[in-house]
Structure 1
Amino acid sequence: MLGALQLGVLAACVVVLVPMGMAGWHLSRNKMLFFSGALFITLAVGVHLTPYFPSVTDFVSTVSSVVVIDNRRTCISLLHDVVWDVTKSPGFSTLNNNSVNYDKSWGWTSSSRVSACEFQKLSRSDASDLLNGSWVVVAGDSQARFIALSLLSLLLDSKDMESIRGDLFKRHSDYQIVVDEIGMRLDFIWAPYTSNLTDLTMGFKRNRNYPDVLVMGSGLWHMLHFTNASDYGVSLQLLRDSVVSLLPISPERGTDGPVAGSVPVRSPHVFWIGMPTLINSMLNTEAKRERMTDAMRGAYDRQLQKSKILRQSGGPLLMLDIESLSWNCGVRCTVDGMHYDVPVYEAAVQIMLNALLIESHQKL
């Protein structure tokens, strides 16, 4: 009995080569026609025989996968390409020229690369579908608290948010809520120092209970109370090691399996909340103005990159770049040079949700 390969060759000969051979004499009269006919024969034979060569099929599949991964990485890298429109509000007053006198809106740039990624501002319904049944943990300082507030504001109506806002912003406290309509649980964990975040991730590993989405960040409190960039860098490296021990390592990061000590669980999506742009002259205490300088902020940023905790430097966490978002929104988007108006954190939440869509291979 003829094997699959022989049958494929025979089928190619009968279907393609015989008819083309019969026409060969006519094609040979014209070099262009002859070349076109030869090219057609080659392609036709290739199409017929490819399924019978597993290595060729695997190669084509591999190339396709690489293209998809590359496109995904490209779109992830473009998520922060946004532009702001900051305009005077209808009730603008020169006597009270602060952030509340300006309306802010944002959108992704209209470049061809960004447009090809089809980013979108998710509606309440879309966000609910995406996070349905999920456990989301947001941990860190006041910047993380604003992220949690913005996420809940997207999922809930204004009436529900009235009571939540007061509870969520109780000073230095944790907060938990279950959105019954979609079965989503959100935990906010007050964790102002990186060591607090390390303890949190080690607790997940110890309890073998992991959130679907983990959003965390720190730095402002350390800068204010310790003012020691190198110590901050050491704490980031310890946090990185702790997070890596939770995660099965993706082939996209260059390995074929989990690292030692990792556990066979569903990999959570992990995000890092970057520190905002600090406007020193607007900071509301002398201690902040003295310690949270541009030079110190730069030193802390360098330690963040050096720690390799971020995806862009080979680490596990995808950056929510509050610095670039706040910088581009500008001085008219903050009242104290550290905490920014709601639209900045809303933009960060939409960037996070679009990253979740990309990484989970979903499309609304």
Structure 2
Amino acid sequence: MLGAVQLGLLAACVVLFVPMGMAGWHLSRNKVLFFSGALFITLAVGVHLTPYFPSVSDFVTSVSSSSVDVVVDDRDSCVSLLHEIVWEVRPGRVFDFGQNNNSVNYDKFWSWKESGSVESCEFQRLKRHDVSVLLNGSWVVVAGDSQARIFVLSLLGLVLDSEGMESVRGSLFKRHSDYHTVVDEIGMKLDFIWAPYITNLTNLVAGFKRNRVYPDILVMGSGLWHMLHFTNASEYGVDLGVLRSSVMSLLPVSSEFGNDEAVSVANSVSSPSVRSPAPHLFWLGMPSLVNSMLNTPEKREKMTDKVWGEYEREVQGSGMLRQFGGPFQLLDIGSLSWNCGIRCTDDGMHYDGVVYEAGVHVMLNALLIESHQKL
């Protein structure tokens, strides 16, 4: 008795080769028509017969899978190049030698490095309309210290006009306070949460889970206050570990980070807070410190390059960052501020808005990559 494969082959031969022979007989007087007809029927034969040859099917599948892998690899490589930013810092047209604030005497410009790999990623310096489209209807939460506050100011500068920004400055920079605004034109809600310590960030995440309400974009960062008031990097690292565990429970079961912790929490009956899709998570890195420019003796004593390095190593070792298996995409204010240099800061700690503007554009381009969008 003939098997299914043999019957399939026989049927394919009858249905396809007989018409092909008849077409060849009728079209033999016209070479163009004969070639076109033969090509079409040959392709049809190939499509019908491919399922009956496992090796061919496997080859097609493997090629398709390889193409997907290439796309993913390209996406990951572009994410790794987001901070390939170069700076041009030059004296301004009006240079006031009597001005103590040295940074105002310099104009600063940034752009992505001109190299083949970076240019192939097509990073974009987004205009107001593009940012409005990307963030339309989003809830954005930024939590941290004064660095995060300046980051919020730079983000709002891309969606608000000059009149709107004037009102923002007075409200946003109230000392040690939270800030909330809604950009009605695009339906974007933004919250800044004053959270100078990692424990504050952990409590914030616990509040999201308790209320079962989650932002679309969550930017977090803290460390400078702990460095100044506790100066204990290992203790800071322990706090980071607790925060990481709490954040991992926000991730869906099919976590792209491949972390079993997220899966175990998601499978727990007592954890209904896991939702999909997860928020877009970003870690706002600490800026480079210029010790000689810090404005108090206590800061110059405690916030040294050595201590800064110890805190940075705790962040890397905690598994917070995506390149180390964690949930957060790094916004590397440390490298951005270092490359901009001492002409971009007045107090060795807080940098000009252009540095944070570059960080905002890194975040926006990361969102475009993650969502496979182009504007």
The residue that corresponds to 1:59 in the other structure is 62
Q: How much does 1:63 deviate?
A: 2.1
2:137 and 2:8 map into 1 onto residues whose CA distance is: 49
1:134 and 1:317 map into 2 onto residues whose CA distance is: 19
Give CA deviations for 1:180-212 in whole Å, capped at 9, x if unaligned.
000000000000000100110111111111000
Q: Is the 8 A contact 2:248 2:262 kept in 1?
A: no
Q: Secondary structure at the match of 1:178?
A: strand
Q: Secondary structure at the match of 2:150?
A: helix
Q: Secondary structure at the match of 1:136?
A: strand
The residue that corresponds to 1:76 in the other structure is 79
Q: CA RMSD in A?
A: 2.8
The residue that corresponds to 1:336 in the other structure is 347
The answer to whether structure 1 residue 87 and structure 2 residue 90 are counterparts is yes
Q: Secondary structure at the match of 1:353?
A: helix
The residue that corresponds to 2:373 in the other structure is 362
TM-score scaled by length of structure 2: 0.84
Match of 1:127 among 128, 131, 142: 131
The answer to whether structure 1 residue 152 and structure 2 residue 163 are counterparts is no
Q: How much does 1:8 deviate?
A: 9.5
Match of 1:114 among 113, 118, 138: 118
The residue that corresponds to 1:212 in the other structure is 216
Q: Secondary structure at the match of 1:260?
A: helix
Q: Which runs of 5+ in 2 are unaligned?
A: 22-41, 267-273
The residue that corresponds to 1:138 in the other structure is 142
Amino acid at match of 2:78: C
Q: Is the 8 A contact 1:250 1:256 kept in 2?
A: no
Give CA deviations for 1:291-330 in whole Å, capped at 9, x if unaligned.
0000100110111111010001110000000000000000
The residue that corresponds to 2:109 in the other structure is 105
The residue that corresponds to 1:350 in the other structure is 361
The residue that corresponds to 1:224 in the other structure is 228
The structure that has the greater radius of gyration is 2
The residue that corresponds to 1:168 in the other structure is 172
Q: Is the 8 A contact 1:99 1:334 kept in 2?
A: yes
Amino acid at match of 2:325: G
The residue that corresponds to 1:247 in the other structure is 251
TM-score scaled by length of structure 1: 0.86
The residue that corresponds to 2:32 in the other structure is none
CA distance change for structure 1 residues 315 and 254 in 2, over 3 Å: closer, same or farther?
Answer: same
Q: Is the 8 A contact 1:145 1:188 kept in 2?
A: yes
1:204 and 1:255 map into 2 onto residues whose CA distance is: 21
The residue that corresponds to 2:319 in the other structure is 308
CA distance change for structure 1 residues 114 and 47 in 2, over 3 Å: closer, same or farther?
Answer: farther
Give CA deviations for 1:120-178 in whole Å, capped at 9, x if unaligned.
10100000000000000000000100111100011000111101111000000000001
